[in-house]
Amino acid sequence: MSDHTKLAHLSRDEQVLQGAVNPPIHRASTILFERAEDLYSNKTKRSYGIQGMSVHDSLREAFCTLEQAHSVVLAPSGLAACTMPLLAICSAGDHVLLSNNIYGPTRKFCQNQLTKFNIEIGFFDPESTNDIAHDIKPNTKAIFMESPGSLTMELTDIPAIVAIAKERNIWTLVDNTWAAGWFLKPITMGVDFSIQAASKYPCGHSDVLMGMIATGSKAADRVLQKFNADSGNFVSPDDAWLVLRGLRTMGARLERHQTSALKVANWLSKRTEVAKVLHPALPEHPNHDLWQRDFTGSSGLFSFILRPIPETQVLKLLNALKYFGLGFSWGGYESLAIHCDPQLTRTAPKWPDQGTIIRLSIGLEDPDDLIADLSQAFKTQTQS
Ligand SMILES: Cc1ncc(COP(=O)(O)O)c(C=O)c1O
């Protein structure tokens, strides 16, 4: 059965739905017990609202099917979904290796918070699998990847890194937000934790913050569930309902995001103002082979590098855009643009290109309108 069919039909427990198509928004903090004997027996499915109600179960089941996972834990934001498994698996004295292209706030969390607990941080080049064996230390506990990186779009050879990690009993984590669990299935590659900011494509409408962590094994599930139960993270049933609703149409949206983004990317690659387009589905992308091997498609997020111009000209170009909003989140129905250079904090290796990177999130508008918008914005470069 394809993911389209699965997402249309899964999580439809008739006892809960009672003939309706979508689940009710089930709100609870207190869960009542019929017998005092059961209060501390741990035999009941739920003993407190924080464990989630039927709408949470439905959403977890939907993500679990999509990611082909053992289990799923929901998180209050995509960032929380990145930080929770790291906190769950690491102890004082451990070392964590982070891909140099990971989402900036995840990087900051590791640098500012994990280090307070005497957890050491190191970075590896996302494109170089050979180097990672040298970066691993005897105390390396986890390797965190993001493929492609959501600003610079390099891909990592996930199966190769998983093989190296498994030999050494190191946990692997992948931020799978770009592929939305649709175009890449990290769990099937042996990854322990596949993470998504559900705020992006699963929600699809730019109005919910949520994250999800899919686990690849009983061991990964155990360590994450324990941390989750001890730390009190929770997702509101209203938000769970909205994300489940979004997931039902995500496949259809992603197909359009994909074709529109490719049309815009191909158009940009022919513009004289553009030095390079960073889109893994374009044959000229340096990691295109990996993309062809591991991914079944591409989403609506990609970047391009402008030929070097003064910053004032870059800002003028962005300000001239009419259909592209200027904003940091992405994966919604509306197109967005940002310039990324201030966020580039890479260390090994340093980012080699000179021009400003512009990142686009291509929404559901007509791609010809988006191209016309970019075309008129580029004219600001010839006007002083
Ligand atoms: C790749 C990636 N991971 C995680 C996140 C964090 O998601 P959230 O905004 O839900 O915290 C983002 C947000 O932009 C992201 O781009």
Atom 9, ligand 1: which residue's CA is nearest? 78
How do the domains of the chain map onto residue ranges?
Answer: 3-94+136-145+163-245, 250-381
Report the residue count for the chain.
384
CATH topology of domain 250-381: Aspartate Aminotransferase, domain 1 (3.90.1150)
Q: What is the average pLDDT score of the chain?
A: 95
* pLDDT of amino acid 144: 98
From ligand 1's centre to the CA of 102, what distance in Å?
A: 10
Residue 211 CB–ligand 1 contact under 6 Å: yes
* Structure tokens belonging to residue 146: 């993001």
pLDDT tens for residues 13-40? 888 888 999 999 999 999 999 999 999 9
pLDDT tens for residues 221-257? 999 999 999 999 999 999 999 999 999 999 999 999 9
Residue 221 CB–ligand 1 contact under 6 Å: no
Say if CB 209 and CB 77 are below 8 A apart: yes
Cα–Cα distance measured from residue 178 to residue 286, given in angstroms and rounded to the nearest whole number: 18
Say if CB 205 and CB 246 are below 8 A apart: yes
Say if CB 146 and CB 103 are below 8 A apart: yes
* Structure tokens belonging to residue 6: 């699965």
Confidence of residue 383 (pLDDT cuts 50, 70, 90): low
pLDDT of 217 strictly over 90: yes
* pLDDT of amino acid 14: 86
SS3 111: helix
- Residue 160 burial (CB < 10 Å; 0-12/13-18/19+)? middle
Tell me which of 19-28, 177-186, 305-314, 336-345 is least confident: 336-345
SS3 303: strand
Counting ligand 1 atoms within 8 A of each CB, the residue from 147, 329, 330, 338 with the most, and so the one to mutate, is 329
pLDDT tens for residues 91-145? 999 999 999 999 999 999 999 999 999 999 999 999 988 778 889 999 999 999 9
Say if CB 68 and CB 179 are below 8 A apart: no
Q: For 3-94+136-145+163-245, which CATH class?
A: alpha beta
**Dihedrals phi, psi of 377, to nearest 5 degrees:** -70, -35
Q: Which atom of ligand 1 is nearest to the CA of 199?
A: 10
* pLDDT of amino acid 342: 66
Alpha carbon dihedral 17, 23, 25, 27, in 10-degree steps, equals 60
pLDDT of 194 strictly over 90: yes
